[in-house]
Amino acid sequence: MPPRAPLQRKIHGLDCVEEVSLLKRELVPLVGDESRLAFDLLRAKLTIDLDGTSLASEEIDSAIDRTGLRHEPWVEDSAEDETQSSWIQYRRGALTTISGVCGLAGWWLHYAHSRSLAGTDNLLDSPNEGVTPVIATVYLIGIFAGLILVLPKAWRSLTSFRPDMNLLMSVAVVGAIAIGEWFEAATVAFLFSLSLLLESWSIGRARRAISSLMEWTPPVARLVCSSGGVHEVSPKEVAVDSTLQVRPGDKIPLDGVVLTGASDVDQSPITGESVPVEKEEGDPVYAGTINGDGVLTMRTTKTSDDSTLARIIRMVSEAGSKRATAEQWVEKFAAIYTPIVFTLAILIVLIPPLLFQASWEEWIYRSLVLLVIACPCALVISTPVSVISALTSAARHGVLIKGGVFIELPASLDAIAFDKTGTLTYGEPAVSQIIVSSNGIAASSVDEDELLSIAAAIGSQSSHPLSLAIVNYARDRPLPPNTATEVTSISGKGSIAMVNGREIWMGSKRLMKDQNLDCRQTEELLDSPQARDKSVVLIGNSERVLGIILLTDPVRENARDVVALLRQSGIKTISMLTGDHDAAACNIAEQTGIDDVHSQLLPEDKVEVIGLMVEEYGNVAMVGDGVNDAPALAIATLGIAMGGSGSDAAIETADITLMSSDLRLLPWLRQHSINTLSIIRQNIVFALSIKFIFVLLTFVGYASLWAAIAADTGASLLVIFNALRLLRTAPVQQ
């Protein structure tokens, strides 16, 4: 049998684990192995491996139809239906708003009407009292708005005899209505709708991460023909071993190797290196990186579908879908809790009258009491209210958390991996040392201030990051005046200028070699540990090297203290992942107290390291800020982005964003997560304890319907008030 191509379908509404579970339920018995199914939640895409099977596409489509989800054939390059996506997002928000407004309006009308009735002081005295048709209608509108997207799923769950959270919520609301707890029913419907809205928003943000990454792909490549002419084509049309020309300032369209030319290339989108990297003949270049001021001719080594940037995009998408298929505890609980409750209620009605000739009326009443007290309103409310409070408090402190599931993860972390550039460091070069003749260079006629003044004069005519760092360093210092004229930029090497009538050059080691000087002492110094992990700018004239300026990416303030606090909080392993060379990585690790260092990593290497850490330690967080960190952020148990300086792709891909890039927010976040889990556990234990006590009382005949209603309402209020304590979380310690 010849190999069969995978069958791909676009599934509308494929937003969360519930839809994945529905599809698996119908498709796994058909295809025989769950590994044949691949879910891409970021693009709402289902891929089925049919190789080695005789299944027809019609059979697959029929199985998908049984789930009630709308689908269509997947078209790889088709434009997203933005109108539909916007409508779905708008619809969820609008329905949640209507649910909340109508719930409050119903409560206010109910309360006002009940107060006007003689002998009724509040709703708890008689919840059925004063529920006029108008009030009931307002409540029902709010309840229906909150559950309209849930009821079809609950119905499918009921008819397939597989109880889930949707059925649990629907039963809770219907049960509350049946006993006259209208406001409680409306509250449950609103809170559940709000949690679904947050989940949908989180998936939407992840989908936009793909679009953000796509922006790094250049739209055209300049293909060099055999005749020597150059014409623009789509990168998708370029074959391996083609010759491309890359102009100054252009994005490099494909992975390849430099054939001719020299230039500084900004590789920060891919490798995260803080300064441009010098590229010359034989050096590798990557798609999505930005050429400096030199013209490069390159030979392509990979197609557009296999470039480093394409792999980044693919890894983000795949990692997002894998995480979304994880089973949630609440689903497992609902699958057990709901049928047990219904079974107990039926047994209470039937067994005593049939076996012991007990009164039908009495045991029917006890069964109703059991259903009322077993109605999981307090239990169901406890978690979303706690999560909403925790998310709100985190946002006030500058921590953006993209959904309730991610507020729990920081508390259970076993290891954290930090990117270096822009995360542990500021991501911008700064002058660390100025070296003149007293430090071993051939005799010079300038001192430190004069050398800095000359460098700043030449650097002011350049936009290179190292030049800008020197100019910024010199700006607030009382330096002798110098002016640079006739500045000439030399691609990939530096600049030559006239300073006070003297010709001065400033740039890299390659530019120094072009001057045909005896530079043995300088080269020895550059090879020493003093300069090995630094960016180097040399200044000289036609006779000698006048001096060297060393620059480094400084470590963020409090980085070492933050690492220590994270260790004290119970994090077992703290690692650093970087694309920089060994010396730079080890220097930063020493300054921050990190002892597990991985250097010279490409994005796929970071993904591999994170995968190994997850296997070894368990729950692992990745903290990063660049496009090159996006795949690792996505594959980690928890992705945390530095929002203040981070790229859009990293922020969109991450589960949590530190909006101020303050590393002190990390230990605060971990403690906040621990507090949130504690509150959630308190609420769950309290709610279940109340249920258990009243179930026992029901069996022995001491629980009444009204007592059950009061207990359930009181439990709901108490768990809400307990959850609201999270809004008073202490600020980040200064």
* Residues carrying an active site annotation: 419
35, two tokens: 């590994």
Q: Are strands 284-285 and 256-260 parallel, antiparallel or unpaired?
A: antiparallel
β-partners of residue 7 are 48
Q: Smallest Cα–Cα separation from 252: which of 306, 300, 210?
A: 300
CB 9 within 8 A of CB 73: yes
- For residues 150-171, one letter each, b for 16 or more C-beta atoms within 10 angstroms of the residue's C-beta and e for the rest, the string is beebbebbbeeeebbbbbbbbb
Q: Are strands 545-552 and 430-435 parallel, antiparallel or unpaired?
A: antiparallel
Residue 147 main-chain phi, psi, to 5 deg: -110, -5
668, two tokens: 């605060």
Q: How far is CA 343 from CA 369, 370, 687, in A?
A: 14, 11, 20
β-partners of residue 412 are none
Q: Are strands 221-224 and 45-48 parallel, antiparallel or unpaired?
A: unpaired
Tokens 């927010």 correspond to what residue? 665
Length of the chain: 734
β-partners of residue 230 are 224
**E-assigned strand segments in 427-534:** 430-435, 484-490, 494-499, 502-507
**E-assigned strand segments in 211-254:** 221-224, 230-233, 243-246
Tell which phi-psi region holds residue 383, choosing left (phi > 0), alpha (psi between -120 and 50) or beta.
alpha
Q: Give burial (CB, 10 Å; 0-12/13-18/19+) of 430.
A: middle
CB 639 within 8 A of CB 607: no
Q: Smallest Cα–Cα separation from 658: which of 649, 269, 668?
A: 668
Tokens 């990297």 correspond to what residue? 277
H helix or E strand, kind and range, residue 67: none
Sign for the CA dihedral angle at 178, 182, 186, 188 comes to negative
Cβ atoms within 10 A of the Cβ of 592, count? 23
Residue 66 main-chain phi, psi, to 5 deg: -65, -20
Residue 733 main-chain phi, psi, to 5 deg: -70, 135
Query: What does the alpha-carbon distance between residue 278 and residue 670 come to, in Å, rounded to a whole number?
Result: 40
Query: What does the alpha-carbon distance between residue 301 and residue 307 come to, in Å, rounded to a whole number?
Result: 9
566, two tokens: 């994270």
Please tell me whether residue 229 adopts helix, strand or coil conformation.
coil
Query: What does the alpha-carbon distance between residue 188 and residue 202 come to, in Å, rounded to a whole number?
Result: 21
Torsion of CA 80, 82, 86, 87, to 10 degrees: -90
**E-assigned strand segments in 452-593:** 484-490, 494-499, 502-507, 535-540, 545-552, 573-577
β-partners of residue 425 are 555
Tokens 């201030």 correspond to what residue? 449
Q: How far is CA 709 from CA 33, 172, 223, in A?
A: 47, 13, 76
Supply the angle between the helices 377-396 and 165-178 in degrees, to the nearest 10: 110
Query: What does the alpha-carbon distance between residue 25 and residue 19 come to, in Å, rounded to a whole number?
Result: 10
Amino acid identity of 133?
P
Query: What does the alpha-carbon distance between residue 1 and residue 54 come to, in Å, rounded to a whole number?
Result: 10
